[in-house]
Amino acid sequence: MDLSILAFGSGWGNALARGLFVTLALAAASVVLGTGLGLVGALVATSRFRIAAVIVGGYEVVMRSVPELLVIFAVYYGFSFALQPFLQMVGIEGFVAINAFWSGVLAIGMVHGSYCSEVFRGAFLAVPAGPLEAARALGLRPFPVFIAVKLPLALRFALPGLINLVVVTLKATPLVAAVGLQDLLRVAGDAGKNTKQYLTFYLVALAIYLVLAVLIWVVESRIERRASRFLGA
């Protein structure tokens, strides 16, 4: 196996690095969006507003049941489709390709959010009643109780689950290549096609994904240990 094809500069190193950057950016943006959506989703689903809770709960079931690939296509095609009437008004006809990266972020973020919501919901249920009662007895209003007491405590329960979901979402990012994003796996595939060295390049991609996953798991176990210190060893 000639490894010079992987070199930076003359080989495929630069392209792979760019692909890796796209993958990381996509995963990071999706996780940020998804975690926010998940928090909001969990709050709505556990709120007093029954109808909103049912709607959000149903939406999340759908997001968790349908393949990520389908969500990606739905967002990507759905958006260009929905935009068509407006674009026709300003005189643009035919299929308009919207940005693959951001539709990928939206699609994967929505799926990520539906899983995060489950984690947050469990974490809120796990917060003991004592500290909340104490905060209320001190005269704190509902919002400060939530921000200063409930959320920080819930985060300790939620963090391991949330970080574990980062790996799940990282593993979903290659699917965005289906709408044309040049992520790590797509670049590895192009390199394989060009050099006829599929095995080499897919093994390299595999190794990179595994290293990323292991790094995230290491962070997870560190944080888990740190966040559960208060529970006593």
Instruction: Name the residue nearer to another protein (CB basis): 69 or 132.
Output: 69
Instruction: Name the residue nearer to another protein (CB basis): 78 or 131.
Output: 78
Q: Please, what is the minimum distance in Å from the beta carbon of residue 65 to another protein?
A: 4
Our CA angle for 170, 171, 173, nearest 5°, is: 65
How long is the chain?
233
The beta strands (E) that lie in the chain are given as none
Instruction: Name the residue nearer to another protein (CB basis): 145 or 183.
Output: 183
Q: Please, what is the minimum distance in Å from the beta carbon of residue 140 to another protein?
A: 26
Instruction: Name the residue nearer to another protein (CB basis): 95 or 143.
Output: 95
Q: Please, what is the minimum distance in Å from the beta carbon of residue 1 to another protein?
A: 10
Q: Please, what is the minimum distance in Å from the beta carbon of residue 170 to another protein?
A: 8
| Cβ-contact 61, 118 below 8 angstroms | no
| Cβ-contact 134, 112 below 8 angstroms | no
The pair of three-digit structure tokens given for residue 16, joined into one six-digit string: 């792979």
> How many angstroms separate the CA atoms of 111 and 197, rounded?
34
Binding site for another protein (CB under 8 A): 61-62, 64-70, 73-74, 77-78, 81, 115, 118-119, 121-123, 125-126, 157-158, 160-162, 164-165, 167-168, 170-175, 177-178, 185, 189, 192, 197-199, 202-203, 205-206, 209-210, 213-214, 217
> How many angstroms separate the CA atoms of 210 and 213, rounded?
5
| Cβ-contact 47, 226 below 8 angstroms | no
